């Protein structure tokens, strides 16, 4: 029996947290209440030092159809309200991208509209070979928010960003893999195996070192690298308990215990 539709659902198992979008009858289309719940869950996960990796996925046959633009249009009677609705979604995506722990998007199906940016904010995207995606902003007359455009360009390149935004054409999983949107593409029956494999790898690496390097990589991708802060983190890591354990584990030919 399927679970009733709801705001996103959190499950924690050991060092792994999983957030599942849970409106399958509407292809996990995001409502305003989902945005607040996602931020609350991100805060909860980041406050728990035992959680080392986050998996974001969807219920049913799609990952997500993105944000409910109809509800935005109905509520927004002024330019300021429209801006507020768009900013709320952008803030959620930015919050996901900036999480200190590594994140995996488990693309169980199609990903559309704003959800393409939500998935892109994850560090890794593993998708089924039947997945597809499209960004319909140009078809809807919507100039997409700046942060999403920056993310597309920094992660996929100028030409691919133009193709996806300006044509609004649907592309299939093999093309998603080719342009770098997907980290890996697998048959549906191997999706969990591949996600679990990567989650175990990430959960076993040094959390502070990963957090710092992820931050530097994201900053550099946005053209805003704080080189001085990154250099400080590098020097601190050379004196950290993590590097002592890593070197000791390497010498003893065992997995490190961070």
Q: Which pLDDT score, from 0 to 100, does residue 69 have?
A: 74
Q: Which helix (H) or strand (E) holds 146?
A: helix 146-156
Beta-bridge partners for 20: 9, 57
Q: Which pLDDT score, from 0 to 100, does residue 17 have?
A: 98
- How much is the pTM? 0.92
| Mean predicted lDDT score pLDDT of the chain | 93
Report whether pLDDT(2) > 80: no
Q: Which pLDDT score, from 0 to 100, does residue 50 have?
A: 97
Output phi, psi for 33, to 5 deg.
Answer: -70, -25
Task: Locate the domains of the chain by residue range.
Answer: 9-202, 207-251
3 state SS of 125: strand
pLDDT in tens, 128-183: 999 999 999 999 999 999 999 999 999 999 999 999 999 999 999 999 999 999 99
Higher pLDDT residue, 83 or 39? 39
Higher pLDDT residue, 30 or 5? 30
Alpha-carbon torsion (202, 203, 204, 209), positive or negative: positive
Q: Which pLDDT score, from 0 to 100, does residue 85 have?
A: 58
Q: Which pLDDT score, from 0 to 100, does residue 218 have?
A: 96
Report whether pLDDT(71) > 70: no
Report whether pLDDT(77) > 90: no
pLDDT in tens, 86-115: 689 999 999 999 999 999 999 999 999 999
Q: Which pLDDT score, from 0 to 100, does residue 90 have?
A: 95
Task: Say which residues have a Cβ less than 8 Å from residue 185's Cβ, sequence separation at least 6.
Answer: 126, 127, 128, 129, 131, 173, 174, 176, 177
pLDDT in tens, 187-217: 999 999 999 999 999 999 999 999 999 999 9
Q: Which helix (H) or strand (E) holds 229?
A: helix 227-237
Q: Which pLDDT score, from 0 to 100, does residue 74 have?
A: 52
Report whether pLDDT(1) > 50: no
Question: Considering the domain 9-202 in this protein, what is its CATH number?
Answer: 3.90.226.10
pLDDT confidence bin for 81, thresholds 50/70/90: low
Average pLDDT over residues 41-49: 97
């Amino acid at each position: 029996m399927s679970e009733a539709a709801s705001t996103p659902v959190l499950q924690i198992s050991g060092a792994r947290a999983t957030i599942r979008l849970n409106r399958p009858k509407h292809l996990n289309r995001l409502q305003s209440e989902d945005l607040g719940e996602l931020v609350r869950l991100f805060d909860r996960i980041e406050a728990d030092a035992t959680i080392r990796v986050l998996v974001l996925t969807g219920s049913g046959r799609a990952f997500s159809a993105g944000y409910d633009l109809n509800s935005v249009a109905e509520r927004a009677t002024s330019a300021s309200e429209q801006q507020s609705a768009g900013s709320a979604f952008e803030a959620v995506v930015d919050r996901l991208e900036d999480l200190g722990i590594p994140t995996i998007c488990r693309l169980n199906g199609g990903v559309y509209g704003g959800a393409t940016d939500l998935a892109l904010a994850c560090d890794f995207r593993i998708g089924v070979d039947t997945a597809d995606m499209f960004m319909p902003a140009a078809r809807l007359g919507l100039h997409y928010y700046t942060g999403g455009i920056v993310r597309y360009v920094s992660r996929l390149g100028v030409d691919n960003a133009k193709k996806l935004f300006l044509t609004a054409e649907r592309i299939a999983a093999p093309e998603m893999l080719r342009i770098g949107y997907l980290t890996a593409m697998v048959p549906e029956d191997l999706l969990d195996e591949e996600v679990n494999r990567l989650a175990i790898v990430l959960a076993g690496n040094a959390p502070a070192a990963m957090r710092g390097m992820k931050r530097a990589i994201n900053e550099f991708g946005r053209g805003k690298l704080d080189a001085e802060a990154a250099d400080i983190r590098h020097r601190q890591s050379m004196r950290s308990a993590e590097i002592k354990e890593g070197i000791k584990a390497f010498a003893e030919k065992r997995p490190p215990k961070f």
